[in-house]
Amino acid sequence: MKKFLALTITLMMIVTGLTAVVSAGSYDGEFQGLTLEKFRYYDAAEVFNAGVSQRGYGASQDGKYLFGGFLAGTRAVVKFDAKSGDPLGAFNTSDEYPKGITTDDRGNLYVGLLNVDNKDYISIAVVNMDTMQEVTRLKVDVGSGKVGVNGICVSNVDGKYTLYAMVNYDYNRLYAIDVTDVNSMKVESFTELEAITGVAGGEGQYMDADNDGYIYLSAFLNKGASKGDSILKIDPAAGKVVASVDCKECYGISHYGEYVAASTYNGAESCVYIFDAETLEEVSQIITADAEHAAFTGVTMYQNRIVVAEQNFNNQSGFWTVEGLNLPDEIVVEEVVETPAADDAAVSAPQTFDAGVIAAVAAVISAAGYAVSKKSR
């Protein structure tokens, strides 16, 4: 029995080591040798006369719908079928610009709006994804002067939903808004971007959040770009940058599992970069099949697909895609530890494991236990 316990402990130590290996860059190979292919393009009439300047972009968490925020024409958020690309409906924003778009895992669509005069305040509208009708909205008074909103994103940490909004122009601030109950949304706090980055005159662009509370932001930090020049991983609770990487003309951001995708607003050289979400080390660059594009705005990454939004090329807006990824759903195993004594108490914590490693090690432990018990008879 002692031999079995010793072997079990040894194998558990091996599991811990293997977990560290598989949890960092486990699926880097999925992003090698990929090419963005043109998916679907539209002229203004096809998108309810919303124009062709598709700046805002988002997608439903289940991958069924894409949402484009159009800044010209009738100004609207257009809903597209993600599989066919067909336009399905629109939320008309009238005299407001729909630049920020995000969704949550409860099926809510959020739209960050700036008024036509770019003055004093922004608004966050909650829209019914099925009907594309507004449910409620929150007006956020920022201050006197030119005010806009770029990216918005929602984080769900233990059932608390926080919407982050990146305000720009005369004020460069990261707002935190409690949207746990969308019918009683409230601003919790804001932090000046300069206080987070230590760089004066910087501007935040688009962003995404994970469910550990981190934000991934494309930012302009005075490094010579016209849009963004840096990807930042931010701990909003601490108000600081925990990782960063230079990325020329970065704009759209999407987080999935171990990875972050960033689209670039860089003319015919626009592309998508993939970074490790923990360290922001570059994993891959994904280029297009041809140069028939002008500027990528948003990006979303799923288990099996990447979708990129095109703002305006030859008076059309559209989407590019990468199909056939094979990323995993995250598997979280609760490690239960019995407390042997008060002074040696161990605290259990969720651990993320690769399913193959768990199965293999479990089989070895089971076989070892059988061999030891058989020998001791």
Distance, CA of 376 to CA of 1 (rounded, Å):
8
User: 217 and 100, same structural domain?
Assistant: yes
Residue 225 confidence class, pLDDT cut points 50, 70, 90 = confident
Q: Pick from 87, 45, 48, 46: which is nearest to 66 by CA?
A: 87
Which two structure tokens, joined as six digits, stand for 262?
């960033």
Residue 288 maps to which CATH number?
2.130.10.10
- Quote the pLDDT of residue 243: 98
User: 108 and 7, same structural domain?
Assistant: no
User: 39 and 129, same structural domain?
Assistant: yes
User: 79 and 6, same structural domain?
Assistant: no
Burial class (CB in 10 A: 0-12, 13-18, 19+), 273: buried
Final residue of a domain: which of 304, 323, 342? 323
User: 353 and 336, same structural domain?
Assistant: yes
Asked if pLDDT for residue 260 goes beyond 60, the answer is yes
User: 350 and 271, same structural domain?
Assistant: no
User: 72 and 135, same structural domain?
Assistant: yes
User: 267 and 356, same structural domain?
Assistant: no
Distance, CA of 135 to CA of 125 (rounded, Å):
8
**pTM of the predicted structure, to 2 decimals:** 0.81
User: 352 and 226, same structural domain?
Assistant: no
User: 211 and 130, same structural domain?
Assistant: yes
Asked if pLDDT for residue 374 goes beyond 90, the answer is no
User: 39 and 70, same structural domain?
Assistant: yes
Give 268-314 pLDDT, tens digit per residue. Answer: 899 999 999 999 999 999 999 887 887 899 999 999 999 999 988 88
Picking from 161-170, 257-266, 353-362, which range would have the lowest pLDDT averaged per residue?
Answer: 353-362
**Domain that residue 299 falls in:** 28-323
The domain total for the chain is: 2
Q: Can you give the length of the chain in residues? A: 377
304 vs 345, residue with greater confidence: 304
